[in-house]
Amino acid sequence: MHTIRLRNPWTADWLETLSPAQPRQSVVLYERKFHAPTGLEHCSVELAVAWQDALPAALRIQLNERSLPLPAELAPLLIIPISGQLLPFNTLQLEIELPGTLSRQSAGDPACPPLSTLAEVTLRIAD
């Protein structure tokens, strides 16, 4: 298996959402653009998200403006098959509802936390 780490550059923007349980949860939209690796015609490709510590309260992932299916319960390692969904140039978006300890209100900081402090995102390619 070959692994490609999708490290920087990620852009990050705060989004606010209303939730009945928590009136103002903090949500960050992370976005990264990347070129598709070459030679994927006969390969299996997965997107892997390995959470560093706390799991997000909620998560939505889009690849090229299409929502990717997520399991009902998030786990420390999330693996999503994406074979056949990569374009020559791609946009990956992770909309993450942060745990309370990392919320915008508790952080008191206008800057979004870097994605690298929350998770490592990789493409996993197998022949």
**Rounded CA separation 30/53 (Å):** 18
Closest to 82 measured CA to CA, from 30, 20, 24, 34: 34
Q: Are 51 and 122 in contact (CB under 8 A)?
A: no
Residue 112 belongs to domain with CATH number:
2.60.120.260
Query: What pTM was computed for the model?
Result: 0.86
Decide if pLDDT at 101 tops 80: no
User: How many structural domains comprise the chain?
Assistant: 1
Confidence of residue 92 (pLDDT cuts 50, 70, 90): very high
- Model pLDDT, residue 25: 58
The more confident residue out of 12 and 24 is 12
User: What percentage of the chain carries pLDDT values higher than 90?
Assistant: 56
Tell me the residue range of the domain where 51 lies.
2-126
Q: What is the pLDDT of residues 46-69, one digit of tens each?
A: 999 999 988 888 899 999 999 999
Decide if pLDDT at 108 tops 60: no
Q: Are 51 and 79 in contact (CB under 8 A)?
A: no
The two structure tokens encoding residue 83: 């074979």
Give the mean model confidence (pLDDT) for residues 91-106: 76
